[in-house]
Amino acid sequence: MQGIEIYDIIILALAAFLGWRLFSVLGQQGGDEDVFGSDDTKAVKDSAMPAAIRRIHKPAPLSQDLAPELREGIDDILKEDPAFDLNRFVAGARQAYAMVVEAFSMGDVATLKPLLGDEVYEAFAAAIQERGGDMNRINVAEILEASPLEARCDGREAMVTVRFRSRQVHARGEGLETLEATDIWTFRRLVRNPDPNWMIVEAREDT
């Protein structure tokens, strides 16, 4: 995940707001607005990749035939947070994945900071600083899979681990390259905290 992209200040402000709004509703039922209720098709503003389009399709409802360990973990979360909804959580996690991957590629630490746990943020920020001017801008063209692997609730702390498989367009110099990536991320939230936000506390490639 290396690269850079230039947005004007209006787009940056909108992205920051959407990031805050995203994690304010991630995994929650109800509300007057369903920010994940329709397909997201967004043209990318950049002369280096004028035709690239992000297509993050609305996922089908998750199968009720979940692995017993996963179902048990979800039930544990529901005991502490009855409003939790796994389908809605996964829909929001898909949006978060694309936002973080693209922000990292651009070196946009302002967007990353409110979405990441301290350790993950420090690792991402260090990688951005280390790469310097060696940039590789990434557009998440399509999320092919977002599958919950594990869920648990230890007292006040709920955690859900998701495997993402995505098709990405990488801009290297004047050329474009389409790659498939698989990552495993863990999201955490303090269920008794009035702050409804989920944070990404682990992010690794699936090798």
The region of weakest confidence among 90-94, 176-180, 192-196 is: 192-196
Domain with 82, as residue range(s), is 9-205
Mean of the pLDDT values across residues 21-32?
47
Report how far residue 51's alpha carbon sits from residue 48's, in angstroms, rounded to the nearest whole number.
9
| Helix, strand and coil in the chain, % to nearest 5 | 35, 35, 30
The beta-strand segments (E) located in the chain are: 40-43, 53-56, 137-154, 157-172, 175-190, 199-205
Q: Quick check: is 181 in a domain?
A: yes
Instruction: List 160's β-bridge partners, or say none.
Output: 151, 187
Phi, psi of 201 (to 5 degrees): -110, -5
Report how far residue 73's alpha carbon sits from residue 71's, in angstroms, rounded to the nearest whole number.
5
Q: Quick check: is 23 in a domain?
A: yes
Q: Quick check: is 51 in a domain?
A: yes
CATH number, domain with residue 189? 3.10.450.240
Those residues with Cβ within 8 angstroms of residue 83's Cβ, 6 or more apart along the chain or in another chain:
27, 28, 29, 30
For residues 89 and 155, which has the higher predicted lDDT (pLDDT)? 89
pLDDT digits (tens, 9 = 90+) for 34-76: 322 223 333 333 333 333 333 444 444 555 678 999 999 999 9
Q: Quick check: is 4 in a domain?
A: no
Q: Quick check: is 3 in a domain?
A: no
Report how far residue 39's alpha carbon sits from residue 54's, in angstroms, rounded to the nearest whole number.
10
The pLDDT of residue 33: 35
Mean of the pLDDT values across residues 99-117?
95
Mean of the pLDDT values across residues 104-130?
95
The pLDDT of residue 195: 81
Number of domains forming the structure of the chain: 1
Residue 114 in this model has a pLDDT that exceeds 70? yes
The pLDDT of residue 20: 44
Q: Quick check: is 160 in a domain?
A: yes
Considering only CA atoms, which of 54, 45, 190 is closest in space to residue 117? 190
To the nearest whole number, what is the mean pLDDT of the chain?
A: 76
Are 92 and 22 within 8 A, CB to CB? yes
The region of weakest confidence among 69-73, 118-122, 135-139, 188-192 is: 135-139
For residues 101 and 19, which has the higher predicted lDDT (pLDDT)? 101
| Cα 140–Cα 145–Cα 149 angle in degrees, nearest 5 | 125
Q: Quick check: is 1 in a domain?
A: no
